[in-house]
Amino acid sequence: MFVISAPEPQPDSAGAPHSSAAAAPSRFTYACLLLAFLLSSLPIKSSLWLDETATYWVAKDRARDAVARAWDWSGQSPLYYLTAWAARHLVPYLGLELSLRLPTLLTMMVATYLVYRLARYLLDPEAAMLSALAFMCIPAVSFMAIDARPYALALALLVASSLCCLKWLDSRRPIFALMYVAATTLTLYAHWLFALGLVAQLIYGVRHIRRLAALWAAIGILCIPLLGQFLHFYRMRQSHNFSTTPEISSFFNAIAPPALAAAVFLSLLLFQAWPPPSRPVPRGFLAVWLLFPPVFLFLISLVTDTKLFVPRYYLSCAPAAALLAGYAVSRSSVMARAASAIWIVALAIGIWIAGPIHAGEDWRGASQVVNRAASPGDPVLVVCGFIEGTEKGVNTPSFREVLFAPQIAYPVANISRLPYYFDEHAIPPDLTRAARVFLVGERTLFDVQYEWWLKQKLTGYRAHSLGNFTRISVVEFER
């Protein structure tokens, strides 16, 4: 049974219920939340990674070009990409990476604040601040905090949708109905897979169908233009095989991020008799929100050839995981501080392990070293990093640029484009005319196959790496 509000608490100045017994958020939790943002933003000036360079390609020219490319390439609405298009005008002042990522960081701050407001509305101030910290310490959320893609925007809109929905049902104020329609519609326009995070609203809303039916109808009408996006995904579903069939351990990591789960387990172990919450907690609503996105994508990936069980696609469950974790550890001030410490230390260790390069792809450094080492006329073989980069794809004029978006963001002269899957016929036949040949690509099986083939064919050449660019390989063959 879902219970959203109780009659006794009175709203505070911001309209959120509160209890006089609710604990105020500690300064330590505030400090940990600030530190979480600082840690997450450390790689903000590092090289764009593969998918972010595609964002740059979509946004680099005119606004109408960004709109067309968003539909044609990503199969998504241009909502986020118009934001990126506006941000790229700051490139002369802030640099490419900071210009594209700063709007994402600001959006994630908004998303975190909305998680706080939602938790404060449903729980209490202490649980709200802990929920915000838990949210930012989820590894996928921390990663997306500076990622130049639509996920931070979709998260912010999703949380806003849930908050407006609950406030509309509790207050019946028309402003919340309008905001609910707007936020929900924009959530789907930001990224259609975040519709999975709206299922909890649908299940809860069945009990309030009279008040929600008209709003849902309006949302449906406003989302009619997205039908083309769904059809595009269906046609391209075979390209979503870059992941493998998920294991059950991955599913449990999705619904219970290890650091969050450790703090909750510790609180259960130490405080078996919790004091009662200051108000009823909507455990059912939050449980459906937490479970449905990963369960749905796990099953799709398990029984079909479409592999969608990747963190960014089930990210819509992250707010629910944060709210449940924040509530679980907020029953004791000692446990709240211990959980805050566990979460921030785990985040710091994860960011340290990931290294200073966002997503571990230093395309900027790779391009710089090739431009310094190569002479005019030296062939530079670049292996496509996108799974869509088949032999047909790399020769299709409309996709030729985006499939090699890293070389658009970080130009390299005299490149020869090689498909993602190894194809010896795509390799230029006259390489032995050059004194030096360069091979650039991600460290994948197919990149290794290209390197091995060149070592066999370029007899009399010495092959050596030109440096460490994390997941990017740069090999020079010199006669």
Strand order in the sheet with 436-442: 415-418, 380-383, 436-442, 472-478, 462-465
Task: Choose the final residue of a domain: 356, 388, 404.
Answer: 356
Residue-wise pLDDT tens digits, 405-458: 999 999 999 999 999 999 999 999 999 999 999 999 998 878 899 999 999 999
- Distance CA(409)–CA(98), nearest Å, equals 13
pLDDT of amino acid 5: 43
pLDDT of amino acid 474: 97
Same-domain check for residues 373 and 305: no
pLDDT of amino acid 238: 60
At 272, is the pLDDT very low, low, confident or very high (cuts 50, 70, 90)? low
Residue-wise pLDDT tens digits, 120-145: 999 888 899 999 999 999 999 999 99
Residue-averaged pLDDT of the chain = 90
Same-domain check for residues 327 and 404: no
Same-domain check for residues 365 and 331: no
Which range has the top average pLDDT, 11-20, 296-305, 386-395? 296-305
4 part of a folded domain: no
Same-domain check for residues 398 and 265: no
Same-domain check for residues 307 and 397: no
pTM over 0.75: yes
Same-domain check for residues 329 and 367: no
Average pLDDT, integer, range 77-103: 97
1 part of a folded domain: no
469 part of a folded domain: yes
456 part of a folded domain: yes
For residue 223, which phi and psi values (nearest 5 degrees)? -95, 5
Same-domain check for residues 296 and 235: yes
% of the chain residues with pLDDT over 70: 90
Residue-wise pLDDT tens digits, 27-37: 999 999 999 99
258 part of a folded domain: yes
Strands 472-478 and 436-442: antiparallel
* Least confident residue range of 163-167, 208-212, 229-233: 229-233
Same-domain check for residues 74 and 136: yes
Same-domain check for residues 317 and 376: no
Same-domain check for residues 285 and 180: yes
Same-domain check for residues 163 and 94: yes
Average pLDDT, integer, range 318-335: 91
* Least confident residue range of 109-118, 231-240, 276-285: 231-240
Which residues are CB-contacts of 51 (< 8 A; sequence separation ≥ 6)?
149, 359
Whether the pLDDT of residue 10 is over 80: the answer is no
pLDDT of amino acid 60: 96
CB-count burial class (<10 Å; 0-12, 13-18, 19+) for 92: exposed
* Least confident residue range of 68-77, 115-124, 252-261: 68-77
Q: State which amino acid sits at residue 320.
A: A
Task: Choose the final residue of a domain: 356, 382, 402.
Answer: 356
5 part of a folded domain: no
Task: Choose the final residue of a domain: 326, 356, 386.
Answer: 356
For residue 215, which phi and psi values (nearest 5 degrees)? -70, -40
pLDDT of amino acid 394: 87
Report yes or no: 402 and 54 within 8 Å, Cβ to Cβ.
yes
Residue-wise pLDDT tens digits, 273-302: 555 666 677 889 999 999 999 999 999 999
pLDDT of amino acid 333: 84
Residue-wise pLDDT tens digits, 339-387: 999 999 999 999 999 999 999 999 999 999 999 999 998 999 999 999 8
Domain count, the chain: 2
For residue 440, which phi and psi values (nearest 5 degrees)? -125, 135
Tokens of 304: 């079909």
At 21, is the pLDDT very low, low, confident or very high (cuts 50, 70, 90)? very low
227 part of a folded domain: yes
pLDDT of amino acid 240: 57
Residue-wise pLDDT tens digits, 168-212: 999 999 999 999 999 999 999 999 999 999 999 999 999 999 999
pLDDT of amino acid 352: 97
Tokens of 267: 């609180």
Of the candidates 297, 277, 285, 286, which has an alpha carbon nearest to the alpha carbon of residue 319? 286
Domain span holding position 239: 10-356
- Distance CA(234)–CA(226), nearest Å, equals 13
Same-domain check for residues 351 and 366: no
